[in-house]
């Protein structure tokens, strides 16, 4: 298959209009959305349900209001998203794994007055305390089960009528209107509110589809949360807008259940992170993942061990490493099934520009800034205004190199994840890679602490029980790596902290190290 030629005009659409265009192209009766309840919805079903639910939500919300969505990956979250979109409200995806403090901060920053959730989810995820605390903070909690019981005959007739002439009944959104409000992962600090326009999201789908040929007959299996932009755009918007069936699974942590479900539902593509993919491979007892066309990994570096495990167990199923940021809707670059280069994150998506700014003290790589139709409207300011990126350029904060042809990107670390040791700039990501090469089956995180003699020192936090400073130093010497990249202190733990997205939680790791030092 050959992907369609990229046309930036294709991205300049409202989200609901893009959904309607997909229905017109692939047929209203096509099953397009399913979850663990195994009750698939067609395009017609999804649009009708969006109008019915949207009509009820419109009665208790105001135009352009930020409405909180506290739901797992499911049919329900997709219907809720498009219900809000079709009535001109802004879905604000809340990270239920972020902790009460961050959730409260998000609700305050976005001026959220109402949060949509489900009793079933709150019960299963044991989130009663969080919901009670949000309610006490003047957030009205609305349970979708209650809303559904309020949908009467008039609502159903309205939904049928509206879905027969949807462009007359939906809110007429401009491409520049807000499409979603998301919060950054918070892996290195406090989460920030990111306003993505409707054109940002649609453009990113168009860019991906022009980068990798996609077959409408495929099934996208998405276990990633939709409060994470990779899960929202890659797992929901991309399949729905390109004709692929989107299967939503509520948690990436259920490795055994996921590997059994993937072949059962005819999964073709799997979205995940390195952490979760390695768990899925280990949980596989047979050829459960062998019929996948490919796996796409983002959010964290794909280890060589993961590539090798998948290649050994499931030959012919490539792991495509990609790269993105919430601020870019999120995909910036990704490898291709027919040109997959380990160690890189692939090439820039069409329509994107890259700028490399030198960094004092760092010889290998430069700071990456990106610009394109998928780059955010801006950050949400304390006063509710939007702070756009200067000149349209988003500073990723990542140190990268790009090959001579300007195509293939290699990530060397984040600007803030370099330590100065004895006057030399040392990449914490390189130190983690060193530990991963020494103990490939472990999970490792490296942070820096102040040091009175050398400025800073590296500390390795690892779940590998046999990790040893001397062995790590010997491995560095044998590999020809700088000895400065070998941490001289190791803190062993049963579990390295991760966020709900699968990224390493460096804030928690830093606290662990500092608490251990103070003990």
Q: Read out DSSP for 437-466?
A: HHSTTS-EEEEEEEETTTEEEEEEEES-TT
pLDDT digits (tens, 9 = 90+) for 115-131: 999 999 999 989 998 89
b/e for 10-48, b at 16 or more Cβ within 10 A?
bbbbbbbbbbbebbeebebebebbbbbeeebbbbbbbbb
Residue 467 domain-assigned (yes or no) = yes
Nearest-Å Rg of the Cα atoms of the chain is 23
User: Who's near 415: CB < 8 A, 6+ residues apart?
Assistant: 359, 367, 397, 398, 399
| Residue 258 confidence class, pLDDT cut points 50, 70, 90 | very high
Cα–Cα distance measured from residue 237 to residue 11, given in angstroms and rounded to the nearest whole number:
13
480: left (phi over 0), alpha (psi -120 to 50) or beta: left
Residue 263 domain-assigned (yes or no) = no
Average pLDDT (486-493) is 86
Residue 371 has pLDDT above 80, yes or no: yes
Between 266 and 519, name the one with better pLDDT.
266
List of E strands, 231-374: 245-248, 269-272, 294-297, 319-324, 331-334, 347-348, 353-359, 362-371
Residue 491 domain-assigned (yes or no) = yes
Do residues 454 and 484 touch, judged by C-beta distance below 8 A?
no
Q: How many residues does the chain have?
A: 519
Residue 328 has pLDDT above 70, yes or no: yes
pLDDT digits (tens, 9 = 90+) for 380-403: 988 888 999 999 999 998 889 998
Both tokens of 170, joined, read 């939906």
| Residue 17 confidence class, pLDDT cut points 50, 70, 90 | very high
pLDDT digits (tens, 9 = 90+) for 290-310: 999 999 998 888 988 899 999
Least confident among 173-177, 253-257, 370-374, 474-478: 474-478
Helices (H), 126-169: 128-136, 144-150, 153-164, 166-169
Q: What is the pLDDT of residue 407?
A: 76
| Residue 146 confidence class, pLDDT cut points 50, 70, 90 | very high
Q: Which strand (E) or helix (H) includes residue 90?
A: strand 90-93
Residue 478 has pLDDT above 90, yes or no: no
Least confident among 56-65, 133-142, 222-231, 367-376: 133-142
Q: What is the pLDDT of residue 206?
A: 97
Do residues 485 and 426 touch, judged by C-beta distance below 8 A?
yes
Say how many domains are in the chain.
1
Q: What is the pLDDT of residue 330?
A: 95
Average pLDDT (334-357) is 93
Cα–Cα distance measured from residue 318 to residue 338, given in angstroms and rounded to the nearest whole number:
9
Residue 302: count of CB within 10 angstroms of its CB:
23
Q: What is the pLDDT of residue 455?
A: 67
Residue 260 domain-assigned (yes or no) = no
pLDDT digits (tens, 9 = 90+) for 401-416: 998 776 789 998 777 7
Burial class, 447, CB count within 10 angstroms (exposed 0-12 / middle 13-18 / buried 19+): buried
Residue 94 domain-assigned (yes or no) = no
* CATH code where residue 459 lies: 3.30.300.30
| Residue 226 confidence class, pLDDT cut points 50, 70, 90 | very high
User: Who's near 98: CB < 8 A, 6+ residues apart?
Assistant: 106, 183, 186, 191, 499, 500
User: Who's near 182: CB < 8 A, 6+ residues apart?
Assistant: 92, 93, 193, 194, 196, 227, 229, 232, 326
Q: What is the pLDDT of residue 176?
A: 96
DSSP state of 401: E
Cα–Cα distance measured from residue 81 to residue 217, given in angstroms and rounded to the nearest whole number:
24
Average pLDDT (445-468) is 81
Least confident among 1-5, 488-492, 499-503: 499-503
Cα–Cα distance measured from residue 86 to residue 90, given in angstroms and rounded to the nearest whole number:
10
Least confident among 105-119, 163-177, 472-486: 472-486
Cα–Cα distance measured from residue 14 to residue 17, given in angstroms and rounded to the nearest whole number:
5
End-to-end C-alpha distance for the chain, whole angstroms: 59
Helices (H) then strands (E): counts for the chain: 18, 26
pLDDT digits (tens, 9 = 90+) for 75-87: 999 999 999 999 9
Residue 210 has pLDDT above 80, yes or no: yes
Domain span holding position 494: 422-518
Phi first, then psi: what are they for 440, rounded to 5°? -65, -20
Cα–Cα distance measured from residue 91 to residue 88, given in angstroms and rounded to the nearest whole number:
9
User: Who's near 402: CB < 8 A, 6+ residues apart?
Assistant: 354, 356, 408, 409, 410
| Residue 287 confidence class, pLDDT cut points 50, 70, 90 | confident
Average pLDDT (418-427) is 67
User: Who's near 143: CB < 8 A, 6+ residues apart?
Assistant: 117, 118, 119
| Residue 452 confidence class, pLDDT cut points 50, 70, 90 | low
Residue 473 domain-assigned (yes or no) = yes
Q: What is the pLDDT of residue 12?
A: 97
Both tokens of 156, joined, read 């159903």
CA 93 to chain centre: 12
Residue 111 domain-assigned (yes or no) = no
Cα–Cα distance measured from residue 284 to residue 481, given in angstroms and rounded to the nearest whole number:
35
Residue 468 domain-assigned (yes or no) = yes
**Taking each helix axis from N to C terminus, what angle separates 274-283 and 304-313, rounded to the nearest 10 degrees?**
30
For the chain, the average pLDDT equals 89
Q: What is the pLDDT of residue 186?
A: 57
Give percent of the chain above pLDDT 90. 60
| Residue 514 confidence class, pLDDT cut points 50, 70, 90 | confident
């Amino acid at each position: 298959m050959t992907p369609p030629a990229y046309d930036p005009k294709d991205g300049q659409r409202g989200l609901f209009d893009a959904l309607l265009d997909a229905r017109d192209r692939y047929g209203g009766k096509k099953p397009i959305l399913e979850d663990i309840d195994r009750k698939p919805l067609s395009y017609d079903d999804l649009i009708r349900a969006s109008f019915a639910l949207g009509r009820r939500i419109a009665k208790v919300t105001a135009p352009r209001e930020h409405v909180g969505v506290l739901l797992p990956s499911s049919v329900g979250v997709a219907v809720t998203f498009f219900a809000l979109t079709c009535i001109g409200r802004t879905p604000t995806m809340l990270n239920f794994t972020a902790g009460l403090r961050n959730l409260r901060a998000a609700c305050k920053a976005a001026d959220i007055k109402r949060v949509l959730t489900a009793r079933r989810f709150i019960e299963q995820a044991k989130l009663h305390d969080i919901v009670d605390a949000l309610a006490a903070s003047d957030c009205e909690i609305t349970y979708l089960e209650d809303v559904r019981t309020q949908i009467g005959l008039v609502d159903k007739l309205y939904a049928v009528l509206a879905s027969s002439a949807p462009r007359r009944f939906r809110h007429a959104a401009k491409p520049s209107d807000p499409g979603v409000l998301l919060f950054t992962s918070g892996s290195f600090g406090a989460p920030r509110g990111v306003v993505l326009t409707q054109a940002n999201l649609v453009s990113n789908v168009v860019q991906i589809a022009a980068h990798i040929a996609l077959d409408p007959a495929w099934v996208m299996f998405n276990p990633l949360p939709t409060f994470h932009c990779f899960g929202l755009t890659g797992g929901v918007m991309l399949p729905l807008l390109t004709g692929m069936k989107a299967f939503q699974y509520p948690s990436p942590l259920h490795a055994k259940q996921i590997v059994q479900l993937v072949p059962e539902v005819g999964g073709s593509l799997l979205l995940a992170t390195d952490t979760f993919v390695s768990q899925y491979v280990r949980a596989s007892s047979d050829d459960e993942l062998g019929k996948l066309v490919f796996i796409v990994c983002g959010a964290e570096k794909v280890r060589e061990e993961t590539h090798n495990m998948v290649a050994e167990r499931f030959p012919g199923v490539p792991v495509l490493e990609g790269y993105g940021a919430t601020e870019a809707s999120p995909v910036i670059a990704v490898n291709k099934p027919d040109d997959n280069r380990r160690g890189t994150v692939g090439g820039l998506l069409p329509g994107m520009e890259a700028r490399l700014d030198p960094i004092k003290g760092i010889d290998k790589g430069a700071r990456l800034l990106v610009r394109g139709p998928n780059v955010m409207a801006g950050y949400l300011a304390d006063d509710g205004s939007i702070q756009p990126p200067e000149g349209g350029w988003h500073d990723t904060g990542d140190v990268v190199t790009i090959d001579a042809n300007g195509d293939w990107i290699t990530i060397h670390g984040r600007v803030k994840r370099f330590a100065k040791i004895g006057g030399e700039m040392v990449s914490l990501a390189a130190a983690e890679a060193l530990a991963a090469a020494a103990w490939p089956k472990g999970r490792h995180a490296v942070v820096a602490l102040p040091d009175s003699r050398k400025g800073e020192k590296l500390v390795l936090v690892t779940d590998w029980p046999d990790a040893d400073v001397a062995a790590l130093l010997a491995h560095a010497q044998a590999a020809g790596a700088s000895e400065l990249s070998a941490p001289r202190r190791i803190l062993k733990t049963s579990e390295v902290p991760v966020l709900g997205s699968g990224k390493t939680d460096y804030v928690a790791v830093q606290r662990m190290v500092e608490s251990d030092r103070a003990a």
